[in-house]
Amino acid sequence: MKSAEERLADALAEIERLKEAAHNEAVRTARYPWENPQLVKETQKVGYNFRMDPVTYLKIKWIMENKGGIKSIQQFLEKAVSKHADQILEELHAK
């Protein structure tokens, strides 16, 4: 009969095997690049120089000052771009 430590080690090994199998299946069946966990992992954060007109800047600054949870313009832009991208993907039936 196996000790508790041996059973735990076996269970942890099985969990890792199942995680790897799920990962491999996700890579194999990914329809779009953002669904491929390997590609997402390999892709580093990408930065772009974004210039905005003064009115847009002042609107964002006002939102940040009057709504909690937004710590930076970068964070605001990331959320806005992600939401807009999701909306476009839905229109393209790619989500």
Looking at the structure, tell me whether residues 36 and 52 fall in a common domain. Answer: no
Looking at the structure, tell me whether residues 38 and 50 fall in a common domain. Answer: no
Strands (E), the chain: none
Looking at the structure, tell me whether residues 60 and 85 fall in a common domain. Answer: yes
CA distances from residue 78 to 4, 17, 28, 71 in whole angstroms, order as listed: 47, 34, 28, 12
Looking at the structure, tell me whether residues 9 and 39 fall in a common domain. Answer: yes
Looking at the structure, tell me whether residues 21 and 33 fall in a common domain. Answer: yes
Domain around 89 = 45-95
Looking at the structure, tell me whether residues 33 and 49 fall in a common domain. Answer: no
Number of domains in the chain: 2
Query: How far from the centroid of its chain's Cα atoms is residue 76's Cα?
Result: 15
Q: Crossing angle for the helix pair 54-66 and 73-91, nearest 10 degrees?
A: 100
**Is 0.85 surpassed by the pTM of this model?**
no
Widest distance between CA atoms in the chain? 73
pLDDT tens-digit map of 42-93 = 998 888 888 999 999 999 999 999 988 888 999 999 999 999 999 999 999 9
